[in-house]
Amino acid sequence: MLKGVVASAVLLLVVVLVVRTVHLSRRPPQTSECKPTDSDFIPLNDERLQRFQKAISFESVSRDDGDSNSDEMFRYGEFIIASFPHIHRHSPLVTWERVNNLSLLYHVQGSDPSLRPYLLMAHTDVVPVTNLDQWNAPPFSGEVKDGFIYGRGTIDDKNNVMGILEATEFMLASKIRPQRSFYVALGHDEEIRGYQGAGLVAKRLAEKGVKEFEFIVDEGMAVFEGIIDGVSSPVASVGVSEKGMIVVKLSVEMPPGHSSMPPKETPITVLANAVKRLADNPQPSMLGYGVETDMFESLVPEVLDYDRAVIGDPRVKMEVIQAMEPHPVAGYRDTDFGYQVTIMVGNTDTIHYLNFTGDVYRFSPTHMFPGDPERFHGINERMSVKNYEQVINFFYHLIRNADQAGLSPAHSTHSDL
């Protein structure tokens, strides 16, 4: 019964635009370790662990269909405000505000106004839970089992939310005043692109007269162990850019016909062939093109030309629905965070802050072993108790180190990982 209907088929296709580069380089040997015996080591006592478990218990789920759980996000925010008294009430160094009711923005005033401030980012929302029956512990329990804290958000991204807050609270409670001012932005809708959270926080920062950050640290890569081929020791990877992305609509329109006399080709078969060819000929990697240079001309035409040539059928129309160029590449010299430089796969909230700095480091101090990367947005998301303690201390040392021009040999931020 196809009579009179223009047969057409349409397909939305997400094409990864470009992989900029992966630089593997061996770092110089570490200077000295951050040890639990250090006088300023922040131990994961019961209180801190319970705060993290409680954070996991909020079902602050973002959903693409607009059905996000804003009540729980608000309650999680209230919990944060109640849990860190120095940050929210006692310290004269901190100003904070709710942005769009559910996101949180903090400013910690340093003693030296000549130093450019930096920004620490994290997000309070999580993705929905699937395959509930396969979880070893309920996903909103924060239950500790065999040394692991289970739950949605343990590695994405309540670990960083709570780690940043614990570190800041500890510093303020210890009456330490940083020299360099910093901001903390906790967005509430990163998992659905962040326009209501980070997007509005960025606007708010501009309103407050903030023009530039020295650098930004956001979630991203991690510490990989036994995951990178040929490297047995832990490898801390820092994302210095993000892939671009492009959503392309493919459509085919052909004259209508009757299904009792099927033509040799239908729009669906033409489209299917196009998709098959694209799948068989993925975009070439642009390895080595990017990190060395600051060139950021649009790569969209290049990508489209490639796809058009691969499809090789003028009946398939291509239309760009959405495109995002790769992000600028952050500095990665030895004096920058001395991590192996690699690139981030997903897209995060950092897009909203790119006007403030070229140096965005995407890194979470999360230890990942084989099988762990699948836990992101997956089943049995978890973090070891020990690792969570490292998260807190990572952020504490990052804040302390940010006061210095280079990395302090006594406390390099990453030596405990």
Which residue stretch of 129-137, 218-226, 351-359, 399-407 sits at the interface with Zn ion (rule: CB under 5 A)? 218-226
Helices of type H across 285-351: 300-311
- Count the helices and strands in the chain (H runs, E runs): 8, 14
Which one, of 17, 76, 369, 70, lies nearest residue 226 by Cα?
369
* Among the listed residues 72, 143, 156, 349, the single contact to Zn ion using CB under 5 A: 156
Which residue stretch of 157-165, 167-175, 234-242, 287-295 sits at the interface with Zn ion (rule: CB under 5 A)? 157-165
Binding pattern for the stretch 123-152 against Zn ion, x by CB under 5 A and - elsewhere:
------------------------------
Residue 111 amino acid letter: S
Which one, of 240, 244, 241, 285, lies nearest residue 17 by Cα?
244
Binding pattern for the stretch 166-205 against Zn ion, x by CB under 5 A and - elsewhere:
----------------------------------------
Q: How far is the CB of 378 from Zn ion (least distance, A)?
A: 13
Which residue stretch of 114-122, 164-172, 217-225, 260-268 sits at the interface with Zn ion (rule: CB under 5 A)? 217-225
Q: Within 288-347, which residues bind Zn ion (CB under 5 A)?
A: none
Q: How far is the CB of 128 from Zn ion (least distance, A)?
A: 14
Q: How far is the CB of 385 from Zn ion (least distance, A)?
A: 21
Q: How far is the CB of 190 from Zn ion (least distance, A)?
A: 5
Output 204-212 pairs: Cβ under 8 A, ≥24 positions apart: 204/97, 204/99, 204/105, 205/105, 205/353, 205/356, 206/355, 210/117, 210/183, 210/356, 211/356, 212/116, 212/356, 212/357
Cα radius of gyration (the chain): 24
The residues assigned a catalytic role are 125, 190
Whether the bond between 157 and the residue before it is cis, its omega within 30 degrees of 0, is yes
State residue 90 phi and psi, 5-degree precision.
Answer: -85, -35
SS3 327: coil
* Among the listed residues 125, 157, 169, 307, the single contact to Zn ion using CB under 5 A: 157
Q: Which is nearer to Zn ion, 143 or 157 (CB)?
A: 157
Q: Which is nearer to Zn ion, 166 or 219 (CB)?
A: 219
Q: Which is nearer to Zn ion, 34 or 360 (CB)?
A: 360
Angle at CA 204, nearest 5°, toward 198 and 209?
130
Which residues contact Zn ion (rule: CB under 5 A)?
156-157, 219
